[in-house]
Structure formats: C-alpha cells, structure tokens
C-alpha cells in the first residue's frame, strides 16, 4: 500500500527471512564467519542462538546463499521440534522426501542412511536446519547426534544446524549432553543491534527497495525506534512497517519523533489489549448463578456503570476504526486519480 506512495520497489520491512535484506552488523558478520568455518569442517552441529527476532534464520539462509556450487547441497528445514526420538526421525525423513508413515525406527534410520550415502556418491552434501531447538527434548538431541555420526568413505553424511533461543545455550550445558557438545564444530550467539546499527539497519533495508530519502527519518526518530525495539531486528521491522503505513495514511514525507511516539503508543496499546484478552480467555467459565445481579442497589449501580463504560469504549474504538478506513479509502482514491 505505502510502497507506491513512497516510490519503493517492494516492502522493506517484511518479516519473512530473506538473504536479500541481510545486514552485516558487527555481531552478524562475526556469526557468519564462525558459521562458514563450521561449514568448512563438513561435520557435526553448528549452533546459532539469540533472542526472538535477532535474525537467526536470515543468517543461515545467507550462509547457504553464499555457498559455491549450490547444486551440490541438499538442505532441509525442520521447524516442529517438540517431538520424541522416533517422531524426530519421521520428521527428518519426511523433510528429505522419504517414506515415514508407519515405518519402524530401524527402517527410518536405514532409509535415511541410504539416502545420505546416495547423495554422497553423487558428490552432494546433506544439511539439516532445525529451528526452535530450545524445544528439543534431551533424548531427541541424542538421536540427532547419532544421525550426525553417520559416515561413508571417510565423510560425514549429514551436517546439522541448530537454531535456538537464548535458553538453548543453557540446555547444552547439561551434563547429560556432553556427547552432543563434543559434536559442536561452531557456535555463535547473536546480540542485539546498538543505536548506530539500528539506524544503519533501517537505512540499509530501505535502500534495498529504492529509497531516496522519501520519507525522511530524523535523528530523534532513529533514537526512539532503537529505544522501543531494543535493537531487535524483527521488532524494528514491525515498527518501521507501521511507521510507513502511518506516514502514508497521514500523507507524511517526514518520520520524526512525534510520529514514532504516536505509532509506538498504538502498538503498545494493541499488545496490552491482546494480553488482556488472552488473560480473560483463560478465566474459567462461571455458572449462571455466579453472574446473578447483586441484591443491593449500590452493587447494581456499579455494574451498570461498568457496562456503560464498556459500551462507550466500544463506541470510541468503532469511531477510530471508521476514521481509519475513511482515510485509507480517501487516500487510495486520491492516489488512483
């Protein structure tokens, strides 16, 4: 919607991980170097950890995109990680396109090994990317370790990338995972961007879609975006996407501190409302007798007051949404003209 208004060639702040938008911050450059080293070893686990939204998936996709001879790589990705040791094998088999339904564990292992050997004979490398690794049960990690131990003609058949949130580092320190730790060939923890990198990140993504300083971002706006997002790339994307939408609706050519305050306040209120709704949804259902009106008049007046307030809040929200839609329609009509 706002891309045409600001003469951009695409959405600069999409949430889907895309190597096209990879930004080489100090932490991401170091991480990429560590991962390339681990990849060159051709075996074991490569571990990437970081808080939610710090760019783990984008980093690995960028790594794969930088490989020479990409046709020689067979890569698969696994996202559902809350699985036991047998189910994880079924998911790995399914991810590589192998039979997995109603297959015994021994057969699953043999089918996977045969598949990896066949690819190795073709001169290809097999890689498995596992996201949300912090959810993996210990016995499942052990099963993955066994997969990483498969060899043929002196070569490791499968290299595994484990992407996890910060707590995954703590999981790996467990004494029971000593053998898993010994199989880790490279590991890196992604840090948040600092304030200068936050500005550079925003400008980098905008320039990738033809931004020519329209809209203009002020120094104060960059500072406030950093403070609101804490330098987390995914939060930056979400916030900046909303800023551009707001700028489009309000016909802004300049994103200043006031605009950022308005938009971040709206986001905060929406998040708080979502939390409240989630909290209410967890409240046990009450019997009809529990909701009977109190006998005394004062309690009744209180309930009536609350109901009137809720009704007024609903009317206010409706007016806001109606005004929002009116602006969208009006601006769209003007833009079409």
User: Over its length of 337 residues, how does the chain's per-residue pLDDT go in tens digits?
Assistant: 799 999 999 999 998 888 899 999 999 999 888 888 888 888 889 999 999 999 888 888 888 787 756 678 888 888 777 777 778 888 999 999 888 888 888 898 999 999 999 999 998 889 888 988 998 888 889 899 999 999 998 889 999 999 999 999 989 999 989 999 999 988 899 999 999 999 999 999 999 999 999 999 999 999 999 999 999 999 999 999 999 999 999 999 999 999 999 999 999 988 887 666 666 655 454 443 344 444 444 445 555 566 666 666 666 666 666 666 665 555 555 555 5
Question: Quick check: 247 and 255 in contact, CB under 8 A?
Answer: yes
Question: Quick check: 159 and 198 in contact, CB under 8 A?
Answer: no
| Beta-carbon count within 10 A of 141 CB | 24
Q: How far apart are CA 244 and CA 235, in angstroms?
A: 14
The fourth-level CATH superfamily of domain 26-190 is P-loop containing nucleotide triphosphate hydrolases (3.40.50.300)
Does the domain at 193-272+318-331 match CATH 1.10.8.60? Answer given as yes
Q: Is the pTM of this model over 0.85?
A: no
Question: Quick check: 239 and 263 in contact, CB under 8 A?
Answer: yes
List the structure tokens of 107.
């057969």
Give the start-to-end residue ranges of the domains of the chain: 26-190, 193-272+318-331
Sign of CA dihedral 49, 55, 57, 59: negative
């Amino acid at each position: 919607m706002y891309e045409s208004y600001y003469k951009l060639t695409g959405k600069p702040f999409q949430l889907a991980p895309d190597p096209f938008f990879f930004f080489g911050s100090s932490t991401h450059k170091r991480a990429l170097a560590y991962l390339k080293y681990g990849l060159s070893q051709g075996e074991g686990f490569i571990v990437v950890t970081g808080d939610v939204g710090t760019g783990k998936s984008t980093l690995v996709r960028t790594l794969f995109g930088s490989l020479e001879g990409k046709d020689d790589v067979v890569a698969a990705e696994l996202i559902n990680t809350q699985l036991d040791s047998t189910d994880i094998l079924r998911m790995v088999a399914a991810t590589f396109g192998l039979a997995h339904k109603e297959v015994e564990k021994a057969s699953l292992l043999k089918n996977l090994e045969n598949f990896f050997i066949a690819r190795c004979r073709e001169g290809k490398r097999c890689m498995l990317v596992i996201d949300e690794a912090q959810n993996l049960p210990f016995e499942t990690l052990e099963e993955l370790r066994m997969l990483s131990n498969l060899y043929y003609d002196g070569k490791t058949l499968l290299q595994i990338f484990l992407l996890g949130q910060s707590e995954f580092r703590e999981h790996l320190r467990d004494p029971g995972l000593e053998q898993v730790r010994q199989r880790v060939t490279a590991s890196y923890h992604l840090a948040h961007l600092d304030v200068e990198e936050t500005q550079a990140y925003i400008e980098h993504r905008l320039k990738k879609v033809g931004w020519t300083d329209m809209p203009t971002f002020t120094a104060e706006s960059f500072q406030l975006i950093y403070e609101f997002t804490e330098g987390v790339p995914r939060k930056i994307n979400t916030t900046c996407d909303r800023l551009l939408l707001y700028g489009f609706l309000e016909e802004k050519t300049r994103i200043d501190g006031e605009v950022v305050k308005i938009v971040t306040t709206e986001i905060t209120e929406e998040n708080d409302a979502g939390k409240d709704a989630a909290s209410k949804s967890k409240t046990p259902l009450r019997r009809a007798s529990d909701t009977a009106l109190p006998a005394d008049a004062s309690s009744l007046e209180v309930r009536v007051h609350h109901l009137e307030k809720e009704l007024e809040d609903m009317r206010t929200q409706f007016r806001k949404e109606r005004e929002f839609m009116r602006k969208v329609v009006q601006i769209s009509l003007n833009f079409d003209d």
